[in-house]
Amino acid sequence: MTSIAEPSIGTPIRRTESVAKVTGAAHYAAEHKPAEMLYCAYVPATIAAGTVTAVDTAAALDDPAVVAVIWHGNAPTLGEIDDTELLVMQSNTVAYRGQIVAAVVASSLEAAREAAESLGVDYDDRGAPDNELTADHPKLYAPESVNAGFPTDVTVGEPVSAVTSSGHTVDAWYSTAPLHNAAMEPHATVARWDDENSLTVWDSTQAPSGVQADLATLFDLEPDKVRVIAEHVGGGFGGKGSTRPNAVLAAMAARVTGKPVVFSLPRQGTFDMVGYRTPTISHVQLASDADGRLTAITHDTFQQTSTIFEFCEQTAEPTRHIYAADNRRTTHRVVALDVGSPRWMRAPGEAPGAFAVESAIDELSYALGIDPVEIRLRNEPSVDPADGKPFSSRSVVECLTHGAERFGWADRPARPRQTRVGRSLIGTGVGVASYPVLISPSTANARVEADGSIVVSIAASDIGTGARTALRQIAADALGVGADDVELRLGDSALPTAPGAGGSSGTSSWGWAITKACKALVDKRGSDPVPADGLEVTASTDDDIEGMADVSRMAFGAHFAEVRVDVDTGEVRVSRMLGVYGIGKVMNPRLARSQLIGGMMFGLGMALMEEGTVDTQFGGFANHDLAEYHVTACADVPEIEAVWVEENDDDLSPMGSKGIGEIGNVGSTSAIVNAVFHATGIRVRDLPVRLDKLV
Residue ranges of E strands in 183-243? 188-195, 198-203, 226-229
Please say if 196 is a catalytic residue.
no
Gap between the Cα atoms of 198 and 192, Å rounded: 9
Classify each residue of 132-159 as buried b or exposed e, where b means 16 or more C-beta atoms within 10 Å of its C-beta.
Answer: ebeeebeebeeeeebbeebbbebebeeb
Q: Is the Cβ of residue 403 or residue 503 nearer to ligand MOS in the bound state?
A: 503
Q: How far is the CB of 84 from ligand MOS (least distance, A)?
A: 20
Q: Is the Cβ of residue 432 or residue 438 nearer to ligand MOS in the bound state?
A: 438
Q: How far is the CB of 613 from ligand MOS (least distance, A)?
A: 22
Q: Is the Cβ of residue 441 or residue 681 nearer to ligand MOS in the bound state?
A: 441
SS3 annotation, 410-426: HHCCCCCCCCEECCEEE
Q: How far is the CB of 213 from ligand MOS (least distance, A)?
A: 17
Q: How far is the CB of 304 from ligand MOS (least distance, A)?
A: 17
The answer to whether residues 182 and 626 touch, using CB atoms and an 8 Å cutoff, is: yes
Gap between the Cα atoms of 432 and 397, Å rounded: 10
C-alpha distances out from residue 541 to 55, 293, 442, 545, 665, Å: 50, 42, 6, 6, 29
The answer to whether residues 246 and 183 touch, using CB atoms and an 8 Å cutoff, is: no
> Residues 138, 139, 144, 150: is their CA dihedral positive or negative?
negative
Q: Is the Cβ of residue 241 or residue 654 nearer to ligand MOS in the bound state?
A: 241
Nearest to 143 by CA among 303, 17, 349: 303
SS3 annotation, 105-167: EECCHHHHHHHHHHCEEEEEECCCCCCCCCCCCCCCECCCEEHHHEECCEEECCHHHHHHHCC
Q: Is the Cβ of residue 238 or residue 584 nearer to ligand MOS in the bound state?
A: 238
Cis amide prior to 416 (ω within 30 degrees): no
For residue 161, give the amino acid letter: S
Q: Is the Cβ of residue 238 or residue 385 nearer to ligand MOS in the bound state?
A: 238
Residue nearest to ligand MOS (CB): 238
Gap between the Cα atoms of 295 and 168, Å rounded: 10
Sheet holding 639-644, edge to edge: 420-421, 424-436, 554-566, 572-582, 639-644
Q: How far is the CB of 233 from ligand MOS (least distance, A)?
A: 11
Q: How far is the CB of 620 from ligand MOS (least distance, A)?
A: 22
Q: How far is the CB of 540 from ligand MOS (least distance, A)?
A: 22
Q: How far is the CB of 251 from ligand MOS (least distance, A)?
A: 23
DSSP per-residue codes, 560-617: EEEEEEETTT--EEEEEEEEEEE-B--S-HHHHHHHHHHHHHHHHIIIII----B-TT
Nearest to 567 by CA among 688, 420, 683: 420
Q: Is the Cβ of residue 429 or residue 436 nearer to ligand MOS in the bound state?
A: 436
Pairing of strands 454-457, 486-489: parallel
The answer to whether residues 526 and 402 touch, using CB atoms and an 8 Å cutoff, is: no
| Residues lying near ligand MOS in the complex (CB under 6 A) | 206, 236-238, 241, 344-346, 348, 502-503
Sheet holding 280-288, edge to edge: 154-156, 327-337, 294-306, 280-288, 168-176
Q: Is the Cβ of residue 348 or residue 620 nearer to ligand MOS in the bound state?
A: 348
Q: Which helix (H) or strand (E) holds 365?
A: helix 350-368
Q: Is the Cβ of residue 39 or residue 344 nearer to ligand MOS in the bound state?
A: 344
Point out the catalytic residue in the list 313, 363, 610, 662.
662
The answer to whether residues 596 and 255 touch, using CB atoms and an 8 Å cutoff, is: no
The answer to whether residues 617 and 94 touch, using CB atoms and an 8 Å cutoff, is: no
Q: Is the Cβ of residue 345 or residue 446 nearer to ligand MOS in the bound state?
A: 345
Q: How far is the CB of 272 from ligand MOS (least distance, A)?
A: 18
The answer to whether residues 422 and 391 touch, using CB atoms and an 8 Å cutoff, is: no
Integer Rg of the chain from CA: 26
The count of other CB atoms within 10 Å of the CB of residue 382 is: 10
Q: How far is the CB of 490 from ligand MOS (least distance, A)?
A: 16
Q: How far is the CB of 658 from ligand MOS (least distance, A)?
A: 14
The answer to whether residues 37 and 107 touch, using CB atoms and an 8 Å cutoff, is: no
First to last CA, the chain: 66
DSSP 8-state symbol, 240: T
Q: Is the Cβ of residue 131 or residue 205 nearer to ligand MOS in the bound state?
A: 205
Q: Is the Cβ of residue 236 or residue 429 nearer to ligand MOS in the bound state?
A: 236
Q: How far is the CB of 535 from ligand MOS (least distance, A)?
A: 35
Q: How far is the CB of 504 from ligand MOS (least distance, A)?
A: 7
Catalytic residue IDs: 662
